[in-house]
């Protein structure tokens, strides 16, 4: 795979205040763990193959967390890709832990955040984490409240050299503004896709500041996007509905970075092909109309 080919994954984006650039089409590793993001995968060899093919195809932005599994996903990433390519950026997150029953439990105390960072370092085999997102809020949507205490802990770990850059996940505009007073924020991960468009204004605000916006559940999460309009457009383009949904996100704003996740080589290849789909203004207008009716996502937290 030539370097020229590597730069075609939706163009590139440079995190603000850094020299770190990533291709806009990345990969989300959550689905590499077992069912319900718990335990080992059904097929470890396939999980490793997916990661290696993604990177070979030009993906240099992988999203993960040590609470996926827990520990499982990061350990698979290490087995598949360590020692890491110099241009590979691994973005992880802290702020949750897993109960023995697989439940998702907020973990925002000083001790839990520090342990979370060190768990990520150990299981990824790294001395410093590229980007750590503070994940707050509820399972499906942000919740109002100060993030000063937990973000200050991560800022301290950054000062200690354990973290290079900080981001936020599942947050409100007010929380982002509060966070920027504590430490530079290079990216925001919130739920956003064709059908869930609550962050429309926020994306534009962040774009003006050159801050990355990384939609989680870009394909609808554990309940895939369902729309007769989307199906019809995909058929007309000889593409899959999910490819069209990803292409729409890439064209929607230059600061959007995609991290679609899959444990399937076939779906990985389909997702990466979305970069080649060009949507006309008429089609974009049709797709925009899908977001007129929204509903909360369901499934595991991100």
Q: Residues 52-65: pLDDT tens digits?
A: 999 999 999 999 99
Q: Which of 131, 217, 134 is nearest to 175 (CA)?
A: 134
Q: Please report whether residue 2 resides in a domain.
A: no
Residue 83: the pLDDT is 98
Q: Which of 68, 84, 192, 213 is catalytic?
A: 68
Within a domain: residue 51? Answer: yes
5-41 residue pLDDT tens: 444 588 999 999 999 999 999 999 999 999 999 999 9
The whole-number pLDDT of residue 222 equals 61
The total of structural domains in the chain comes to: 1
- Identify which of 115, 85, 75 has the alpha carbon closest to the alpha carbon of residue 97: 115
- Indicate if the alpha-carbon torsion angle 197, 59, 19, 95 is positive or negative: positive
Domain coverage including residue 249: 22-290
Give the residue among 247, 188, 246, 194 at the shortest CA–CA distance from 212.
188
Q: State the CB neighbour count (10 A cutoff) for residue 185.
A: 26
In a domain, 62, yes or no: yes
- Quick one: DSSP state of residue 85? P
Q: What is the pLDDT of residue 291?
A: 80
Predicted local distance difference test score (pLDDT) of residue 293? 45
- Which 3 state secondary structure label does DSSP give 280? coil
pLDDT above 90 coverage of the chain, percent: 85
Q: Is the pLDDT of residue 224 over 80?
A: no
| Mean pLDDT calculated for residue range 78-106 | 97
Residue 259 in contact with residue 214, Cβ under 8 Å? yes
pLDDT in tens, 185-216: 999 999 999 988 999 999 999 999 999 999 99
Query: Does residue 72 register a pLDDT over 80?
Result: yes
CATH number, domain containing residue 238: 3.20.20.100
4 within domain boundaries? no
Q: Is 9 inside a domain boundary?
A: no
Residue 16 lies in a domain: no
Does residue 301 lie within any of the structural domains?
no
Structural contact between residues 20 and 89, judged by C-beta atoms closer than 8 angstroms: yes
For residue range 148-161, list pLDDT tens digits in order.
999 999 999 999 99
Asked whether residue 98 is assigned to any structural domain, the reply reads yes
Q: Is 192 in the active site? A: no
User: What's the whole-number mean pLDDT along residues 44-53?
Assistant: 98
């Amino acid at each position: 795979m030539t370097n020229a080919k590597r730069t075609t994954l939706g163009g590139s984006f440079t995190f603000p205040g850094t020299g770190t650039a990533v291709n806009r089409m990345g990969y989300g590793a959550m689905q590499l763990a077992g069912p319900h993001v718990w335990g080992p995968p059904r097929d470890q060899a396939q999980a490793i193959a997916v990661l290696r093919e993604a990177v070979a195809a030009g993906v240099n932005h992988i999203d993960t967390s040590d609470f996926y599994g827990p520990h499982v996903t990061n350990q698979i990433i290490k087995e598949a890709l360590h020692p890491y390519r110099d241009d590979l950026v691994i973005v992880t997150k802290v702020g949750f832990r897993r109960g023995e029953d697989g439940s998702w439990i907020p973990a925002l105390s000083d001790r839990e955040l520090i342990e979370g960072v060190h768990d990520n370092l150990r299981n990824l085999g790294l001395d410093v984490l590229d980007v750590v997102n503070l994940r707050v809020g509820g399972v499906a949507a942000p919740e109002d409240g100060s993030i000063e205490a937990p973000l200050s802990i991560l800022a301290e770990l950054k000062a200690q050299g354990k973290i290079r850059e900080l981001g936020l996940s599942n947050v409100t505009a007010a929380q982002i503004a509060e966070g920027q007073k504590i430490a530079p924020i290079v990216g925001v991960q919130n739920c956003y896709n064709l059908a869930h468009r609550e962050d429309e204004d926020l994306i534009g605000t962040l774009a003006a500041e050159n801050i990355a916006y990384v939609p989680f559940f870009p394909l609808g999460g554990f309940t895939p996007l369902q729309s007769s309009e989307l199906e019809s457009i995909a058929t007309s383009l000889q593409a899959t509905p999910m490819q069209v949904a990803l292409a729409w996100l890439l064209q929607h704003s230059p600061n959007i970075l995609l991290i679609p996740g899959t444990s399937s080589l076939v779906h990985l290849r389909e997702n990466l092909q979305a970069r080649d789909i060009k949507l006309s203004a008429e089609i974009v207008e049709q797709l925009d109309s899908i977001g007129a009716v929204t509903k909360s996502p369901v499934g595991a937290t991100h």
